């Protein structure tokens, strides 16, 4: 896993970078904003900009800062208290970044997103154009989840994932995830101080997911697993990921100079087209299709569309245009795509040849249940 160490960090050649800093890196142990840390992020991003690199910052910390401002020692569990803390804290966060970046003559822009903003194709394209406009204007976009309005149904959920979604959105070359650990260890170093460090691996390598645990800090949200999954997601648009310690001196600048710091997860997965990436990232699954062996072979090996004849069972309620998962014989999701028929229609035609669709439903809109153009192989 540590074998293919490259002499130069992937960040050296990246011209568009998304950098994500976790809550523990912008607050003093969750007790209010660490203005010195914020100043360091600003000066490092300013240095990268002076090298001609475009940088979008995804910063956590709103809830931690809100808790400090409200005098709460413990992270609340109720959604509305969390949302209230985020609303209070985001003010401080935005203000601190604006002040810190202004010392380098840089303007900042606040971008608060939810999953719902990105799941709508028009709003997705709009967010993308706005981010590009900001980068062209030389402004540093600072992104966070819009926690104040984000309920579970519409939330991205954690900023590692949000960082990956923004990486895909703006087709960044690299995602830097800064956290309170040196990078990925073979198991959580808080629980196992003997755990070995992973310096290089392939993004999307399934063995990494088994190594990564949840958050250990009580301040952060995602833990290491969301970072590993973020790297896999970022790789789908060709972006490499580095997970490194935000406590390393001048970590971003040294990475940009080519130094290998932290865990480098290289993008070696097939890159999805922009439209398929958006489908994979943003649309909620509405149902599941259990396939037979022939259909699995047709999809995965022969690159064909999914026909009703290869479906053995269907779960869920969906309408034409919704996203459904395709499961293989072992129940693993092997593909997902936009379905052409509603769940009630699909149940009536499953297991049948396409020539029978018109007879069963009264009309045939499409011969395929999911056309290959609308299908993502996982």
Sequence-separated (6 or more) residues with CB below 8 Å from residue 301? none
Q: For residues 356 and 309, is the Cβ–Cβ distance under 8 A?
A: no
23 binds ligand VHF (CB under 6 A): yes
Q: Which is nearer to ligand ADP, 182 or 282 (CB)?
A: 182
**From 9, 11, 18, 22, residue interacting with ligand VHF (rule: CB under 6 A):** 22
Nearest to 58 by CA among 154, 150, 179: 179
Q: What is the DSSP string of 323-337?
A: EEEEE-TTS-EEEEE
Q: Which is nearer to ligand VHF, 33 or 134 (CB)?
A: 33
145 binds ligand VHF (CB under 6 A): yes
Q: Which is nearer to ligand VHF, 45 or 375 (CB)?
A: 45
Nearest to 176 by CA among 29, 365, 14: 14
Q: For residues 204 and 188, is the Cβ–Cβ distance under 8 A?
A: no
Select the binding partner of residue 144 from ligand ADP, ligand VHF, none (C-beta < 5 to 8 A, by kind): ligand VHF
282 binds ligand VHF (CB under 6 A): no
Q: Which is nearer to ligand VHF, 66 or 204 (CB)?
A: 66
Q: For residues 282 and 119, is the Cβ–Cβ distance under 8 A?
A: yes
Kind of pairing between the strands at 240-245 and 140-145: unpaired
Select the binding partner of residue 83 from ligand ADP, ligand VHF, none (C-beta < 5 to 8 A, by kind): none
**From 220, 262, 287, 308, residue interacting with ligand VHF (rule: CB under 6 A):** 220
To the nearest whole angstrom, how small is the minimum distance from the Cβ of residue 5 to ligand VHF? Answer: 27
29 binds ligand ADP (CB under 6 A): no
- Between residue 358 and residue 377, which ones bind ligand VHF under the rule CB under 6 A? none
To the nearest whole angstrom, how small is the minimum distance from the Cβ of residue 140 to ligand VHF? Answer: 17
298-299-305 Cα angle (round to 5): 90
Q: Phi and psi (nearest 5°) for 274? A: -55, -40
221 binds ligand VHF (CB under 6 A): yes
SS3 content of the chain, % helix, strand, coil (to 5): 40, 20, 40
Burial of 191 (0-12, 13-18, 19+ CB in 10 A): exposed
- Between residue 30 and residue 69, which ones bind ligand ADP under the rule CB under 6 A? 60
SS3 287: strand
Q: Which is nearer to ligand ADP, 128 or 227 (CB)?
A: 227
Q: Mark 296-335 with x for binding to ligand VHF (rule: CB under 6 A) and - for no binding.
A: ----------------------------------------
C-alpha to C-alpha distance for 232 and 239, rounded to whole angstroms? 9
Kind of pairing between the strands at 54-59 and 16-21: parallel
SS3 50: helix
14 binds ligand ADP (CB under 6 A): no
- Between residue 136 and residue 195, which ones bind ligand ADP under the rule CB under 6 A? 179-181, 184-185, 187-190
C-alpha to C-alpha distance for 69 and 299, rounded to whole angstroms? 54
To the nearest whole angstrom, how small is the minimum distance from the Cβ of residue 205 to ligand ADP? Answer: 13
Per the structure block, which two tokens stand in for 191? 């629980």
Select the binding partner of residue 213 from ligand VHF, ligand ADP, none (C-beta < 5 to 8 A, by kind): ligand ADP
181 binds ligand VHF (CB under 6 A): no
Tally of CA atoms within 13 A in the half-sphere of 227 that contains its CB = 34
Q: Which is nearer to ligand VHF, 145 or 368 (CB)?
A: 145
213 binds ligand ADP (CB under 6 A): yes
Give, for 314, the enclosing helix (H) or strand (E). Answer: strand 311-316
Using the rule CB under 6 A, give the single segment among 58-66, 266-274, 349-357, 364-372 that binds ligand VHF.
Answer: 58-66
Residue ranges binding ligand ADP (CB under 6 A): 22-24, 60, 179-181, 184-185, 187-190, 211-213, 215-217, 220-224
Residue ranges binding ligand VHF (CB under 6 A): 22-23, 60-64, 86, 144-145, 147, 158-159, 220-222
């Amino acid at each position: 896993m540590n074998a293919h160490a490259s002499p130069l960090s992937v960040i050296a050649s990246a011209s568009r970078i998304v950098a994500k800093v976790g809550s523990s890196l912008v607050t003093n142990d969750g007790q209010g904003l660490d203005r010195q840390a914020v100043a360091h992020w600003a000066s490092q991003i300013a240095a990268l900009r002076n090298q001609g690199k475009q940088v979008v910052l995804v910063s956590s910390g709103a809830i931690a800062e809100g808790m400090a401002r409200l005098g709460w020692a413990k992270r609340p569990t109720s959604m509305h208290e969390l949302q209230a803390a985020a609303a209070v804290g985001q003010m401080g966060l935005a203000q601190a970044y604006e002040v810190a970046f202004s010392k380098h003559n840089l303007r900042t822009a606040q971008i608060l997103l939810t999953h719902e903003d990105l799941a709508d194709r028009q709003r997705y394209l709009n967010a993308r154009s706005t981010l590009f406009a900001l980068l062209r204007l030389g402004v540093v976009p600072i992104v966070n989840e819009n926690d104040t309005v984000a309920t579970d149904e519409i939330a991205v959920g954690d900023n590692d994932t949000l960082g990956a979604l923004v990486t895909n959105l703006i087709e960044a070359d690299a995602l830097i995830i800064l956290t309170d650990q040196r990078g990925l260890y073979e198991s959580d170093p808080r629980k196992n101080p003997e755990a070995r460090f992973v310096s290089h691996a392939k993004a999307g390598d399934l063995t990494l997911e088994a190594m990564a645990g949840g958050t250990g800090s009580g301040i952060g949200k995602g833990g290491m697993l969301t970072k590993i999954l973020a790297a896999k997601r970022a790789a789908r648009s060709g972006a490499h990921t580095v997970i490194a310690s935000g406590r390393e001196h001048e970590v971003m600048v040294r990475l940009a100079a080519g130094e290998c710091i932290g865990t480098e997860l290289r993008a070696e997965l097939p890159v999805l087209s922009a439209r398929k990436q958006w489908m994979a990232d943003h649309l909620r699954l509405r149902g599941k299709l259990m396939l037979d062996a022939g259909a699995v072979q047709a999809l995965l090996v022969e690159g064909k569309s999914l026909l009703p004849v290869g479906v053995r069972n269907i779960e869920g309620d969906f309408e034409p245009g919704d996203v459904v998962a395709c499961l293989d014989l072992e129940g693993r999701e092997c593909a997902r795509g936009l379905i052409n028929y509603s769940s009630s229609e699909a149940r009536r035609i499953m297991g049948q040849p396409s020539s029978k669709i018109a007879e069963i439903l009264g009309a045939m809109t499409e011969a395929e249940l999911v056309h290959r153009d609308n299908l993502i192989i996982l």
